[in-house]
């Protein structure tokens, strides 16, 4: 059996790349706006009150609704596995409706899931570290895995701690993501000035 490979040559000049980057850098403010939005979300979540519960469940419901919409699009537009995409669309959209209808239950379920996630992730980290002892600094993964398992047992032992961990996890994740987006905005803006 002979496999013949065909290579397509694309000629891209330095001027074309610079022009594309200049166009990209004009949208630097989009990164700034999304960064400020995520910082605002983190402030809502890190209040550790009913606003935290509502914000987290809204984010989850929104993501589930988007996933349901995407699966519905795949069911309509793509002929293969149409039934599976349709089923997934119904499941995601049903979960989104349930999330918006029962925010307290959703928050409680997510709080327990994050503890179990950390337990499973920590176990995998420990096993992977022990299997790769010949790699330099393998013990860092072992320590991280043990720490994740410890936090998981701490969180799963009492629902209030799981909820606290979930709020902290989501809030700090949103804060760091927002700061990253703001930094990227100014880096993109600087790149545009350098290319001008």
Q: Are 115 and 148 in contact (CB under 8 A)?
A: no
Q: Quick check: is 24 in a domain?
A: no
pLDDT of residue 102: 93
Each residue's pLDDT, cut to its tens digit, for the chain (196 residues) gives 565 666 656 666 777 777 877 888 888 999 999 999 999 999 999 998 888 989 999 999 999 999 999 999 999 988 888 999 999 999 999 999 999 999 989 998 998 888 888 999 999 999 999 999 998 889 999 999 999 999 998 888 887 888 888 899 899 999 999 999 999 999 989 988 888 7
pLDDT of residue 89: 95
Give the domain extent around 165: 30-44+52-191
Q: Quick check: is 8 in a domain?
A: no
143, two tokens: 């320590």
Q: Are 132 and 138 in contact (CB under 8 A)?
A: yes
Handedness of CA 132, 133, 135, 138 (dihedral sign): positive
Number of structural domains found in the chain = 1
Q: Quick check: is 147 in a domain?
A: yes
Q: Quick check: is 2 in a domain?
A: no
Q: Quick check: is 6 in a domain?
A: no
Q: Quick check: is 135 in a domain?
A: yes
pLDDT of residue 11: 65
Q: Quick check: is 18 in a domain?
A: no
Q: Quick check: is 14 in a domain?
A: no
């Amino acid at each position: 059996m002979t496999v013949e490979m065909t290579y397509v040559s694309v000629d891209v000049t330095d001027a074309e790349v610079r022009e594309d980057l200049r166009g990209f850098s004009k949208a630097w403010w989009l990164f700034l706006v999304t960064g400020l939005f995520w910082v605002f979300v983190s402030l809502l979540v890190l209040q550790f009150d009913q606003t935290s519960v509502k914000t987290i469940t809204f984010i989850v419901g929104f993501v589930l609704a988007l996933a349901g919409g995407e699966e519905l699009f795949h069911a309509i537009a793509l002929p293969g596995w149409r039934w599976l995409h349709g089923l997934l669309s119904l499941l995601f959209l049903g979960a989104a409706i349930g999330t918006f209808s029962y925010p307290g239950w959703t928050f409680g379920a997510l709080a327990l899931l994050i503890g179990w996630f950390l337990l499973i992730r920590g176990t995998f980290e420990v096993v992977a570290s022990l299997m790769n002892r010949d790699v330099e600094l393998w013990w860092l993964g072992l320590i991280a895995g043990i720490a994740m398992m410890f936090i998981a047992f701490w969180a799963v032992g009492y629902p209030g701690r799981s909820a606290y961990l979930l709020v902290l996890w989501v809030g700090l994740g949103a804060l760091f993501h927002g700061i990253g987006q703001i930094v990227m905005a100014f880096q993109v803006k600087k790149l545009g000035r350098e290319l001008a």
